[in-house]
Amino acid sequence: MLDNNKQPVIGLFVTCLADLYRPEVVFASIKLLEAAGCRVEVPQGQTCCGQPAFNTGDFSNTADIARLTITALEGYEYVVGPSGSCIGMLHHYPELFQPEDPWHARAQALKARAFEITSFLVDVLQFSNIKSQFKGQVTYHDSCSGLRELGIKQQPRALLAQIEGVELTEMEESETCCGFGGTFCVKYADISNRMVGNKTENVAKTGASTLLGGDLGCLLNMAGKLQREGKDVQVRHIVEVLADELSYPALGESAYHLGKSL
């Protein structure tokens, strides 16, 4: 638990997909962090964590992007982002530099301060004051990087359990990859399609009306597949439900029927 007299200052790591596709996820994250007593700043020097280059094998560009990100996020007590995958990438940064390189120590320092949001709320802040009017049956997909690189499993469930209206039905194979995998889903489209098809089948079997998760890559993938299959399941990032930011449509849904304009 944090010292109550001290307001922690958070450097928010926005993440590309949230910035581009789902700004509401970032606003919801800020709302949650502020409700938990933090001061949130948005470092302007940040871009992407560099994972696309890292996983393509372009280590030189990855290291350049890492140096940029490390610099942008220095000086904040904590760095928090709404993605296990992107925060997991920040945790890979020390691998990019030789131990004697000064950047190695700076990468280590960032790794020690960087948290995915549900993990930060539960593991660091021990926050237990979630207030949300959300009502409905949900199921939760455990995104791979968060689950296996950062140990995120119980944290999102602990937070959802604080919402009276949430009924969580676990799907089969919630820990199996949805087939997104960054550029994998385009490079190996047929295999990815099979994997996401398995996933949407397991989602549909739960009967849940809402699918939640902590990573937009996976969520966009599953939302797109559910819609193509005509399965009536709404897909949202977990922070939208936790922060009660539900006034706009779910992923890939039309804003028009809600009477909103672009």
Partner 1 sequence: MQITSPQFKENARIALTDVGLQKALGNVKNGFPQKRANAVKRLPEFDQLRDQGRDLKNHIIANLDIYLEEFEANVIKNGGHVHWCRTSEDARQTILKICQDKGAKTVTKGKSMVTEEINLNEYLEANGITPVETDLGEYILQLRGEHPSHIIAPAIHLNLEDVSETFHAHHHKPKSMDPAVLMQEAREELRARFVAADVGITGANFLVAETGSSIIVTNEGNGDLTQTLPKTHIVVTSIEKVVPTLEDMTLFLRLLARSATGQEFTVYNTLSTGPKRPEDQDGPEDYHVVLVDNGRSDMVGGELQEMLRCIRCAACMNHCPVYGSIGGHSYGWVYPGPMGSVLTPQMIGIEKAALLPNASTFCGKCESVCPVHIPLPKLMRHWRKNEFERHLTPKAARWGIKTWAFFAKRPTLYRLLSQTSNRMLRLLGGKKGRIHKLPVVSGWTDHREMPAPSSKTFMQQWNEKQKAGH
Question: For the chain, how many residues are written?
Answer: 262
Q: List the 166-168 sheet strands across, edge first.
A: 166-168, 136-140, 210-213, 234-237
Candidates 114-122, 128-136, 158-166, 250-258; binding stretch for partner 1 (CB under 8 A) = 250-258
Q: Which is nearer to partner 1, 25 or 114 (CB)?
A: 25
3-state secondary structure of 212: strand
Q: Which is nearer to partner 1, 148 or 167 (CB)?
A: 148
Write out the binding residues for partner 1, residues 42-71 only, by CB under 8 A. Answer: 42, 44-48, 50, 52-59, 61, 64-65, 68
Q: Which is nearer to partner 1, 60 or 129 (CB)?
A: 60
* Residue 4: Cβ within 10 Å count: 7
Closest distance to partner 1 from the beta carbon of 27 (Å) = 7
Q: How many residues bind partner 1 (CB under 8 A)?
A: 74
Q: Return the residue of 115, 120, 180, 243 that touches partner 1, per CB under 8 A.
A: 180
Q: Which is nearer to partner 1, 37 or 43 (CB)?
A: 43
Closest distance to partner 1 from the beta carbon of 184 (Å) = 5
At residue 252, φ and ψ (nearest 5 deg) are: 75, 10
138 within 8 A of 210, measured Cβ to Cβ: yes
* Residue 210: Cβ within 10 Å count: 20
3-state secondary structure of 96: helix
Q: How many CA atoms lie within 13 A of 37 on its CB side?
A: 15
Q: Return the residue of 2, 77, 188, 244 that touches partner 1, per CB under 8 A.
A: 188
Write out the binding residues for partner 1, residues 7-46 only, by CB under 8 A. Answer: 14, 16, 18-24, 26-27, 42, 44-46
Does residue 145 bind partner 1 (CB under 8 A)?
yes
* Residue 102: Cβ within 10 Å count: 8
Q: Which is nearer to partner 1, 100 or 190 (CB)?
A: 190
Write out the binding residues for partner 1, residues 77-116 only, by CB under 8 A. Answer: 95
- CA distances to 90, 111, 140, 225, 251 from 230, rounded to whole Å, are 36, 41, 20, 8, 14
Candidates 119-127, 128-136, 161-169, 244-252; binding stretch for partner 1 (CB under 8 A) = 244-252
Closest distance to partner 1 from the beta carbon of 257 (Å) = 9
